Amino acid sequence: MVESVSGSAEPQSIRQALQADMALEARLKLALATLQTDLERERLTAQVNHAKESQQAALSKLDRHLKDQREARTAFSSLAALNSPFAWGPVVVSLIVTLGFFGILSGLLVLWRTPMEASNREAFQLLNIAIGALTAGFATVISFWLGSSQGSRAKDASLAAYPGAPQPTPMNPSPPLPTGPQGTNTMDLNPSRFDACMDIVFEHEGGFANHPDDPGGATNFGITLETLRAWRDDASITAQDVRDLTAKEARSIYRARYWQAMNCDALPAGMDLVVFDFGVNAGPSRAPKMLQRLLGTQVDGVIGPETIAAVEEQPIPTLIDRYSTARLRYYEQLPHFQSFGNGWKRRTELTRRAAINMIR
Give the C-alpha separation, 143 to 120, whole Å: 34
Task: Classify residue 323 as exposed, middle or buried by CB count within 10 Å of its CB (0-12, 13-18, 19+).
Answer: buried
- Does this model's pTM top 0.85? My answer is no
How much is the pLDDT for 209? Answer: 85
How do the domains of the chain map onto residue ranges? 1-165, 192-358
Beta-carbon-side half-sphere exposure of residue 106 (alpha carbons within 13 Å): 6
- Reduced to 3 states (helix: H, G, I; strand: E, B; else coil), residue 242 is helix
How much is the pLDDT for 66? Answer: 59
Task: Tell me phi and psi for residue 8, to 5 degrees.
Answer: -155, 155
* CATH number for the domain whose boundaries are 192-358: 1.20.141.10
How much is the pLDDT for 152? Answer: 43
How much is the pLDDT for 177? Answer: 39
How much is the pLDDT for 300? Answer: 93
- The candidate with the shortest Cα–Cα distance to 29, out of 159, 190, 224, is 190
Beta-carbon-side half-sphere exposure of residue 148 (alpha carbons within 13 Å): 17
Residue 139, amino acid? A
List the chain pLDDT tens, one digit each, 360 residues: 555 655 665 666 666 665 666 666 667 677 777 767 777 777 777 777 777 776 677 666 666 665 665 566 566 566 666 666 766 777 777 788 788 777 777 776 776 666 655 556 666 666 667 666 667 766 776 666 655 444 444 444 443 444 443 333 333 333 343 333 333 333 333 457 899 999 999 999 878 888 766 666 788 988 999 999 999 999 999 999 999 999 999 999 999 999 999 999 999 999 999 999 999 989 899 999 999 999 999 999 999 999 999 999 999 999 999 999 999 999 999 998 888 899 999 999 999 999 999 987
- Reduced to 3 states (helix: H, G, I; strand: E, B; else coil), residue 197 is helix
209, β-bridge pairs: 219
- The candidate with the shortest Cα–Cα distance to 287, out of 264, 269, 270, is 264
| Cα end-to-end span (Å), the chain | 38
- Reduced to 3 states (helix: H, G, I; strand: E, B; else coil), residue 269 is coil
Residue 320 near residue 277, CB atoms below 8 Å: no
Task: Classify residue 223 as exposed, middle or buried by CB count within 10 Å of its CB (0-12, 13-18, 19+).
Answer: buried
How much is the pLDDT for 182? Answer: 36
How much is the pLDDT for 97? Answer: 75
Give the C-alpha separation, 256 to 294, whole Å: 25
Can you point out the beta strands (E) in the chain? 219-220, 223-224
How much is the pLDDT for 147? Answer: 52
